[in-house]
Amino acid sequence: MTTPVGQRRRIRPLTAALSGAAGTLGITIALLATGTLSVAQGRIGQGAEELGDPDYGVCRGTDARCYHGWGNFDTSKGYKVLLYTRTAGPRHANLGPALTPGMNPPLTDANTVQKGLLKMGSDNGFQVDYTEDAGQLASPATLFKYNAVIFYSTSRDALDDAAQTSLRQYIRGGGGFVGVHNAFGTEYNWPWYEGLLGNANFYDHGANQPGTVHTVNRKDTSTKKLPPTWSISDEWYNLVPAPTKVRVLAKVDESTLAKGVTGNYNHPGHGNNHPVAWCQYYDGGRAWLTTLGHDAKDFTTDGSFPGAAEFQKLLLGGIESAMGKAPFCK
């Protein structure tokens, strides 16, 4: 049974009547079941507390029946995406200076992400509009002009009420969403958006450092051109909550992180299953997500930055599948 929106499951406290060996075993089993204790890498330690309803009152997961193919997108004139990079908090350097209001305002050489996506679209047959003006997202009619909406390192409360409503209507009408890097540090107080990210949110990260990425699923559009393993430098995001009911596409091998995985707020990492890319159907739409994408050098094409070529293949495939140009979440 689906839990109604806004309702949360309650965990009844263990009674004091439990005692002795049987009581201890019962307590341990109950705590593991509720997430109060976690088992990772062969150890038992204090884990996450109750994090709420993981279903967010919507159909989500890897079942394509969650998708609403209601005919809202005309591809006869090609494909088009909207890139949104508004920051209401920390701003990643690869976004460059904040953009002026409106659609497609002037860019500087420091606006690496925007220029990188424009080139990616030009090279691969889809149009890219870009903005940091929440007013441009205020109408579902406007968003339905785009086959996918990309949030790239947005931060904090990047949407107003009108834009929130519009995004939700767009996704429910079969829209595509691509969330990159600090899209996970956005709209913390909006549960529906957390669900859109796959039941995931940024908590902290360790040092910016090289790591080895394992391509978990090489059948997906976004991963089929990737090698089984590849290296890249990034901020390796630790997540609370961590994604569930999604198809994990790639993960980082924490043992390759020479400076450790523990975050600046003491998150201990995710052990053998530290995802960095995944996909899901959500509330009628498609959502493709990656925590990678920190460095401006991710968009280099001269081979000077290890992992840049692989990151671009991953992102391109994610965009093409989210907008319906290629098979999604296989």
Question: pLDDT value at position 294?
Answer: 98
Q: What's residue 55's pLDDT?
A: 83
Q: Which domains does the chain have, with CATH numbers?
A: 21-50 (no CATH), 60-322 (3.40.50.880)
Structure tokens at 128: 């890219």
Counting runs of H as helices and runs of E as strands, what totals does the chain give?
A: 6, 14
In this prediction, residue 50 carries a pLDDT of 52
> Which are the contacts of 283, defined by CB distance < 8 A and separation ≥ 6?
56, 58, 59, 60, 66, 168, 171, 172, 192, 195, 196
CA-to-CA distance for 43 and 61, rounded, in angstroms?
Answer: 29
Asked if 239 and 274 touch (Cβ cutoff 8 Å), the reply is no
State both tokens at 270.
């995710």
pLDDT tens column, 44-65: 344 445 555 678 999 999 999 9
pTM of the model: 0.86
Regions of the chain short of the pLDDT cut 70: 1-53
